[in-house]
């Protein structure tokens, strides 16, 4: 339980996203879907755009580790414990990771 709600999980999610993009870049077609409307691909881009997801993951992970940002987010209207704060950040990173997996998956359909 110590791993859940810690920065280790946050960096783990970030690392999985980075590794997933690097490995999938070798297998993705040249054109991949990048925007979806009602579950159907509405816009397409180059496969290099798959690296936007790890960039977002890395930026979120770095910024949320800074003490002044963490203090601002944990001491706003509702006070968050460190574990709640880390779980909130992990949830956001999880959503970005799921979006990355969906783009990779839909590229092969």
- Residue 2 located in a structural domain: no
> Number of structural domains, the chain?
1
Number of H helices, E strands in the chain: 4, 2
- Residue 1 located in a structural domain: no
- Residue 77 located in a structural domain: yes
- pLDDT digits 0-9 by tens, 24-71: 999 988 988 888 888 788 888 888 988 999 999 999 999 888 877 777
| CA count, 13 A, side-chain hemisphere, 2 | 0
Owning domain of residue 59: 7-107
Residue 18: pLDDT over 90: yes
- Residue 61 located in a structural domain: yes
- Residue 46 located in a structural domain: yes
- Residue 90 located in a structural domain: yes
* pLDDT on residue 67: 77
């Amino acid at each position: 339980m110590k791993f859940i709600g810690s920065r280790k999980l946050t960096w783990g999610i970030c690392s999985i996203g980075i590794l997933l993009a690097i490995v999938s870049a070798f297998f993705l077609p040249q054109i991949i879907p990048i925007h979806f409307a009602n579950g159907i691909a509405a816009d397409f881009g180059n496969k290099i755009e798959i690296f936007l997801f790890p960039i977002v993951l890395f930026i979120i992970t770095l910024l949320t580790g800074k003490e002044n940002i963490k203090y601002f987010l944990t001491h706003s209207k509702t006070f968050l414990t460190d574990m709640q704060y880390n779980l909130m950040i992990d949830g956001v990173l999880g959503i970005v990771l799921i979006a990355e997996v969906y783009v990779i998956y839909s590229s092969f359909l």
